[in-house]
Each structure stands twice: as C-alpha cells, then as structure tokens.
Amino acid sequence: MISIKTLGQFIIEKQADFPYAKGELSRLLRDIGIAAKIVNREVNKAGLVDILGTNGDSTNVFGENQKKLDVYADEQFISALRSGGECCFVASEEQEEGVVLTDTGVSKNAKYIVCIDPLDGSSNIEVNVSVGTIFSIYRRKSEVGEDLTEDDILQTGVEQVAAGYIIYGSSTMLVYTTGKGVNGFTLDPSIGEFCLSHPNMKIPSAGKIYSINEGNYVKFPQGIKNYIKYCQQEDKNTNRPYTSRYIGSMVADIHRNLLLGGVFIYPETSAQPYGKLRLMYECNPIAFIIEQAGGKATTGTKRILEIKPTELHQRVPAILGSIDMVDKVLEFLS
C-alpha cells in the first residue's frame, strides 16, 4: 500500500525545526493552503462563471487593470490569514498600503508578516494558461502588542522564515521552503488535500531553457542582448542552441525551470530602469526557493536576498535559475 503524506502531516513533522514558533508557522502555512484550494476551485471553473475579465475600471497600485480573479484571490488570502490569527500584516500586490490585521481580536498577538502576489500571471487566465500565487513569510521584530514598524515590514530576503508558490495548472501544486530544502505538494482533488509529490526538490546546475520576454530585446542592456545571441548560437560542446520558453507567468516559468533546469531573466530596460518585478512578494520568495534548491538569484549586480527594501512595492531586475546558467549571464553583463 502506498503511503500518502499530506501537507498538514508534513508541516507537523517539520515543526521541530522552529522551536520558537510553537505551531504558529505551521498554522499559517495551513491557512495559505486552505485559501489556495478555494482560489484553485474558482480558477478551474473561471470559464463557467462570471469571473473572467477586468474588475470594472479598478486598477492596482501600479495602474494595471485588475482582473476579477485578482481581486477574488486577494480577498480569499487576506480572509484566510485574518481568520487564522497568525498574521499581523499582509503586503499584497493589490493593496497600496498593505493590510493591518491586528485590529481584530484573533490577530492581536500575531507574530508574522505575509507578502503575497495573490494571482501572478492573471492576464493569462482567459486563455487557460497556468497562473499562480507567490508568498513570503517574515517574523515581526517588534514586540507583540506594539504598533508595527517599518523594520517589521521592510525586511531583507535572508530574513524570510518561509516562502512558496502555488501553481494552478494541469495539476495544482504548492511548493515551499522554510530554509531547509524545497518540497512540492500536488493537490489530490479526490480527497481535497495537498500531498507530498516532489520531496527535496533540486534545480539542475545547468539546463537548455532560457526564459525572457524577447519582445523587449531592443530595450535590454547590451550584456543581456549578447547572452541571448549566445543562447541562439550552435555549439555541440555546450549543447547549444538553447530553447526559448517564456509564458508570461513567473510562477509557470520558474516551476518549469526548477524541474528541468534553466534561467529566468527579467532585466532592467530603457523603459523600466529599475526592473519590473516586485522585490517583496515576487523576487524574494522565488529567490529563496531557487537558492534552497541549489540555484542562484541575482539582480545582475547583487544577491536578491540581501537587498534592503526601501518601499513596499519596490521593483528590481531578476536573474534566477540554474547556477551555471546564471553565472554565464553575469559573465556577459560584466
């Protein structure tokens, strides 16, 4: 008989890794898993109900049109974190100022900050392409009962206590790390549970896939242009040319490269000199996962996890993936 280990069982087994947490971190991860199941249900029936398209004239903090599912996912994760009582503040892509949860009785003693992109790649939802959720968890620095400070919220990536993503695709997976390796769980719809399917995930040190939006080629730095040409050149000694794969959903691109080996590049451009991806709830959590899986994550000049945030929605360039491929990109940039 095959033994199935659920996400809940796995989290409880690993609880001893965090003696200071006393179960709160486990419950917080459980709350995120519950919200993910609800969002997954809506994503899977999006074509059957009135949940496709934009949410009227509303936009997020970046002036981007909000999809109905963006708003729905944001509401579900915030609701789950509020009712769970372990989270005191949520920084979301869909919320300009973030959401303080300690104003409710259940969260008044909460010790954790959650940064989240509720529905990454939502522009793909109407064409049935994989989308995802990205989350990052920090432990607050101030004492419980005190007002939250900037130091509580604007922490570096190395201070994350957990991070992960959920990919809503042909199967739904939750992949997360607590700094002790990366594990993946696939949702079994027959029992409604995430089950361990990919233990101790490791990204290959090299690969044949490069993921970049080549439509922005003319706006890229010269080093990135040179790297793309390198990927396209034929060389049997280095298994080139490489394969270009870019989905436009960071979670989907990262998940594929994590399993198969590859590099994901979203550099600064002449139009976006600071990059486009957000540090707190996209780059930091993904960088934590990639490094824990044996890969590398950099802006092109510095390690992503060591950047001290200066604002909630700060943007940074990102080069993440197989260590040999990232190093080759850096070689061209230098």
Burial class (CB in 10 A: 0-12, 13-18, 19+), 45: exposed
Determine if residue 176 is labeled as part of a ligand binding site: no
Are 118 and 70 contacting, i.e. CB atoms less than 8 angstroms apart? yes
Determine if residue 200 is labeled as part of a ligand binding site: no
Determine if residue 120 is labeled as part of a ligand binding site: yes
> Which residue's structure tokens are 């029992």?
191
Q: Which of 320, 324, 300 is nearest to 223 (CA)?
A: 300
Determine if residue 193 is labeled as part of a ligand binding site: no
Structure tokens, 218: 């003319």
Q: Which of 104, 112, 114, 157 is nearest to 22 (CA)?
A: 112
Structure tokens, 87: 């989270």
Determine if residue 213 is labeled as part of a ligand binding site: yes
Determine if residue 93 is labeled as part of a ligand binding site: yes
> Which residue's structure tokens are 């959401």?
99
Radius of gyration of the chain (CA): 19
Determine if residue 294 is labeled as part of a ligand binding site: no
Structure tokens, 131: 């989308």
Determine if residue 119 is labeled as part of a ligand binding site: yes
Determine if residue 211 is labeled as part of a ligand binding site: no
Helix 222-232 to helix 323-333 angle (10° resolution) is 130
Structure tokens, 316: 């940074």
Number of residues that make up the chain: 334
CA dihedral 202, 122, 309, 163 (to 10 degrees): -30
According to DSSP H, which parts of 208-322 are helical? Answer: 222-232, 250-260, 284-292
Distance from C-alpha of 244 to C-alpha of 265, rounded to nearest angstrom = 11
Positions at the binding site for Mg(2+): 93, 117, 119-120, 282
Q: Which residues are annotated as a binding site for substrate?
A: 120-123, 213, 246, 276
Q: Which residues are annotated as a binding site?
A: 93, 117, 119-123, 213, 246, 276, 282
